[in-house]
Amino acid sequence: MIIPERVLPGQMLSVDVDRVPPVVLGPGVLVRALPGMPGIRTWVIDIAPGAEWPDLDVHGTYGEAYFVVSGEVIEGDRTHGPGAYVAFGPRTSHRPRTETGVRAFGFNYDVTG
């Protein structure tokens, strides 16, 4: 299955997220890139129970946000469950982990995109 990188002007697109081929970022960490809009990259992340993001995720000039769909993600000493919207501004960093497993839908904001 070929997934377009962007949603074009005048286009409506529907994608079955589970049919998008995942990229393995580290043990138990899968990312599925979804079609985005100019300046916004969209993705779904699945982290297996007990897994952690492989490296510190650093946000330089632009921010990132995600919405927890299922499970729980731990950021530092805070746990975010289903329905939580977590946003990181420019000049932030984090390293998410989970004990339960988590699926989150996210956005990277990048004016060059």
**What are the tens digits of pLDDT across the range 58-88?**
888 888 999 999 999 999 999 999 999 999 9
The answer as to whether 3 is a domain residue is: no
The answer as to whether 14 is a domain residue is: no
Rounded Cα gap, residues 18 and 1, in angstroms: 11
Rounded Cα gap, residues 95 and 53, in angstroms: 6
Q: Residue 63: give its domain's CATH number.
A: 2.60.120.10
pLDDT at 25 over 90: yes
Residues spanned by the domain of 31: 19-109
The answer as to whether 6 is a domain residue is: no
Q: Output DSSP code: residue 7.
A: P
The answer as to whether 13 is a domain residue is: no
The answer as to whether 72 is a domain residue is: yes
The answer as to whether 37 is a domain residue is: yes
Pairing of strands 23-26, 29-37: antiparallel
The answer as to whether 58 is a domain residue is: yes
**What are the tens digits of pLDDT across the range 2-20?**
677 788 888 888 889 999 9
Residues 43 and 31: beta-carbon distance below 8 Å:
yes
- How many domains, the chain? 1
pTM for the complete prediction? 0.88
**What are the tens digits of pLDDT across the range 39-61?**
888 999 999 999 999 998 888 88
In sequence order, the 6+-apart residues with CB closer than 8 A to the CB of 60 are 90, 91
The answer as to whether 70 is a domain residue is: yes
Higher pLDDT, residue 27 or 10: 27
With cut-offs at 50, 70 and 90, classify the pLDDT of residue 113. Answer: very low
Rounded Cα gap, residues 45 and 50, in angstroms: 15
